[in-house]
Amino acid sequence: MAKVIMTADDSLTIRDIVSYTLTAEGYTVVQAKDGVEALKMITAKPIDMLITDLNMPGMDGIELIKKARAIPAYKFIPIVMLTTESTDGKKQAGKAAGATAWIVKPFKPEELVGVVKKVLR
């Protein structure tokens, strides 16, 4: 069964690129446009990995990571933050919230695939 990866990002462009890249690698990708939606979706249907933006309206990435980690099923899944260099403090906060790794935007598709393969091994 293909692993299910969620991309949570308020930018449609980023979601599209993540989704397109990982689908081509054989993963199933689901999209959420903010933390609230992401949390609702992952509570309804299990995922294997979460790739989240940090700066999102409603519930931001940090909060999402925390809430996801609080769900027993997601205690151990890889959570990767997508961040830009300007949010360094947030990157640390995301890490503290339970993120497994981060990818800095802008990223190359192969970079993304590399990280995903590593954490989903």
Partner 1 sequence: MSDVDRHLETFRLEAEDLLREMEEVILLIEDNPADREAIDRLFRAVHTIKGSSGMFGLTDIVSLAHHVETVLEKVRSGTLSVGRALIDLVLASRDHFSAMIEGQNVDMMAVGTVIARLQTMLGGGKAAAPGAAAKKAGGRSKGGAVAAYHIRFLPEPALFCSGTEPALLLEDVRALGECQIVAQTDAIPAWEDFNPENCYLAWDITLSTNGGVNAIRDVFVFVEDISRLEIVDLSGDYTGDPDAPLPKVGEILVDRGDIDQATLHEAMSLQNRVGELLTGLGRVSGEKVASALSQQEVLRKQQTAAQKDTVRVPSSKLDALINLVGELVTNQARLSQIAGAIGNMDLASPIEESDRLTAELRDLVLNVRMMPIGTTFSRFKRLVRDLSAELGKEIDLATEGAETELDKTVIDRLYDPLIHLIRNSVDHGIETPEVRARAGKPSHGTIRLTAAHHGAHVVISIIDDGKGLDTEAIRRKARERQLIAADRELSDKETFALIFKAGLSTAAKVTDVSGRGVGMDVVKREIDALRGTIDIDSELGRGTTIALSLPLTLAIIDGLLVDVESDRYVIPLSAIEECLELTDDRFATSTERNVIQVRGSPIPLLRLRDVFQIDSPRPPLEKTVVVAVGDVRVGIVVDHVIGNHQTVLKSLGRLYRDADCISGATIMGDGNVALILDLAGLVRHSLADEAADVAAARRAARG
CA distance 94 to 88: 10
* DSSP strands (E only) in the chain: 4-8, 28-32, 49-53, 79-83, 101-104
End-to-end CA separation in angstroms for the chain: 14
Q: Contact with partner 1 (CB under 8 A): which of 10, 47, 81, 102?
A: 10
* 58 near partner 1, rule: CB under 8 A: yes
* 116 near partner 1, rule: CB under 8 A: no
Q: Which residue ranges make up the site for partner 1 (CB under 8 A)? A: 10-14, 16-17, 20, 53, 55-58, 60, 62-63, 66, 84-86, 88-89, 92-93, 95-98, 105-107
